[in-house]
Structure formats: C-alpha cells, structure tokens
Structure 1
Amino acid sequence: MTATAISYGHVTRVPVHFDDLDALGVLHNARYAVLIERAMINWWAERGVSFAGGRPTTSDAFNVVREYAITFHLPVRGTGEILVHFWLDNLGRTSAAYGFRFTSLDGETVFAEGRRVNVLLDPATMRPRSWSDEGRTLAETLLRG
C-alpha cells in the first residue's frame, strides 16, 4: 500500500523505535495512540494547521480527542517502519470521525485498526465550535467514499 495506491485518506510511514516496544519486544499498546496522533498532526501541519509558540496557527488547530477505540490483530514485532492509513468517515459541524489502520509496508498485514473522534473547541469557552470553511475544505479531502 502506497500513497498512490489508496483511493481515500492518507497513508504515511512511521518509525517504530526501541523505546516504543514492551517487554515482549512488540509495539506497546499505548504507542499506537501516539503514532496515529503524530501521523495526523503531521498531515494537518503540512497544510498550515498546527501550533507555533504555544498558539494555534488557525482556529481549526484547537481540537481534542473525544473518543478513541482500537482493535489489535497482530503484534508489530521489533523496530522499523510501518504504515499508518487514516481517513475521515464523517465530518460533522464540530467533529470529525476518523478511521485508521496500521499495516506492514506492503499493506498486506493489518496489525491494528480503529476509530478516533476529534471535536473542535472554542479556546475561550472550551465548548464545541464549527470548523472554518478552510478547515472543512482540507478535511473533506480525507473523506472515505
């Protein structure tokens, strides 16, 4: 599976480092959340939606994880690179429901897959707010189907 082979979402290589492994020499379950977070943050940052100097670069950067679920199929053994494929299943007025999977570099082995829901917040009230037109346009490029 490569970036050109997918028909929706985004695929990126992520490194698995020695300190990501548990005592059994496999990717620790908690590290999957970190790896999907980094993959998604990098995608958004490449499009100008990030944080600089402790402040959001756009209003769409101020969002939080509301829900996270993952199913593990096979362990990632040892260090090296794996693929993270993520996409949007639904883009609501104030939320975005992502799907994701972790695979081998050839895309043949699915190690884990899951769902993550982010909610955009107003920094002053900490209440949900609507995505900007620019943020919505960017996010729509990740929609599945």
Structure 2
Amino acid sequence: MTTALWPGHVHPVQIHFEDLDAMGVVHNARYVLLLERALAGYWAERGWAFDPTKPHFADIFFVVREFSITYQVPINSVGEAAVHFWVEHLGTTSVVYGFRVLSADRSVTHAEGRRVQVKLDPATLRPSPMTPALRTAIEPLLASPTTSL
C-alpha cells in the first residue's frame, strides 16, 4: 500500500538478503533498485505498468539521464524500508524525481538524492514529449505547481 506524503508519496520496499554486501549493509548500488521498486510499484498501482504489451507503453518509455545519491545511515538488515519520492521538475520530455530512502517507520533517512529521466520515442530513441494523460498522472507528485513547465 502507498501512503501519501506531501510532496509526493512514500512507498514500502523490501530489503532482501541479496541486497546486502559483505559487511552486512545494503550495497550502495542497491539503493538505485530500491527507488526502482518503489516507482514501479507506485505506477503499476495506478495503471501505468512497465509492460510492452500495454497500449500506453510508449507513454512511459523513459531512460535515466542522471542519478545522484548521498548516503546518510547504512541499512543493516533485511525487511521493510520506505522510499519517499516526489517530482521536483516536470519538463516537456523530462522529469526530475527527488527521493529519500527511509526506515519503515520513517524515523531514519538512509539516503537521499535525485533522478532525471527523459522520455524517448521507442522507435527513434530520441526525446519525445510526454502525453497529456501522463502529465496529468504525474501532477500529484509535483513538489509545487510552479515546477511544471
């Protein structure tokens, strides 16, 4: 279940044994996957599953252009965590997510960062504008009304 938090949303994610490194903490590269799990879950719950057989697949054909993260407190166990994410900027062909990886009870920030995505045309692999339907679906995640251009 997704819980609303302004701005954006908090989505639960599972930390699996294979997410841990040799020191018993979540490997730094796995934080990217935690964000992916949260975003995929959020969009699938709203009917925007990443499935090439669905008619709106071309609407959500995005690639990551930039990813930055700052680690605060290691996660040192399997179980549930949470990812809080929101949209900092909505452009014509791009979207910038801000995010925080939190403890399940939201009392600890384990990491925070941003991710820039660009929508591509699946046939040409060139940037293409987001559809009005997708822009409308993204709006609830906007940090403020002025971040949409």
What's the TM-score, normalizing by structure 2? 0.89
CA drift at 1:125: 1.1
Superposition pairs of residues 48-63 of structure 1, within 5 angstroms: 48-52=47-51, 54-55=52-53, 57-58=55-56, 59-63=58-62
Question: Which residue is equivalent to 1:66?
Answer: 65
**Secondary structure, aligned partner of 1:51:** coil
- Summarize deviations over 1:51-97 as a string: whole Å, max 9, x none: 33x44541222111111000001100111111100000000000000
CA RMSD of aligned residues (A): 1.4
2:3 partner amino acid: A
Say if 2:113 is the partner of 1:137.
no
**When you count helix as a share of all residues, which structure comes out higher?**
2
Number of residue-to-residue matches in the alignment? 142
CA drift at 1:9: 0.6
CA contact (8 A) 2:40 2:50 kept: no
- Structure 1 CA distance for aligned equivalents of residues 21 and 38 of structure 2: 21
CA drift at 1:124: 1.3
Say if 2:3 is the partner of 1:15.
no
Question: Which residue is equivalent to 1:122?
Answer: 121
Structure 1 segments, 4+ long, off by >4 Å, are none
1:62 partner amino acid: F
- Structure 2 CA distance for aligned equivalents of residues 123 and 82 of structure 1: 33
Task: Return closer, same or farther for 1:57/1:85 CA change in 2, 3 Å cut-off.
Answer: farther
Say if 2:48 is the partner of 1:38.
no
CA contact (8 A) 1:56 1:62 kept: no
Question: Which residue is equivalent to 2:108?
Answer: 109
With 132-141 and 103-112 compared, the bigger mean Cα shift is at 103-112
What's the TM-score, normalizing by structure 1? 0.92
**Gap regions ≥5 residues in structure 2:** 145-149
Task: Return closer, same or farther for 1:56/1:67 CA change in 2, 3 Å cut-off.
Answer: farther
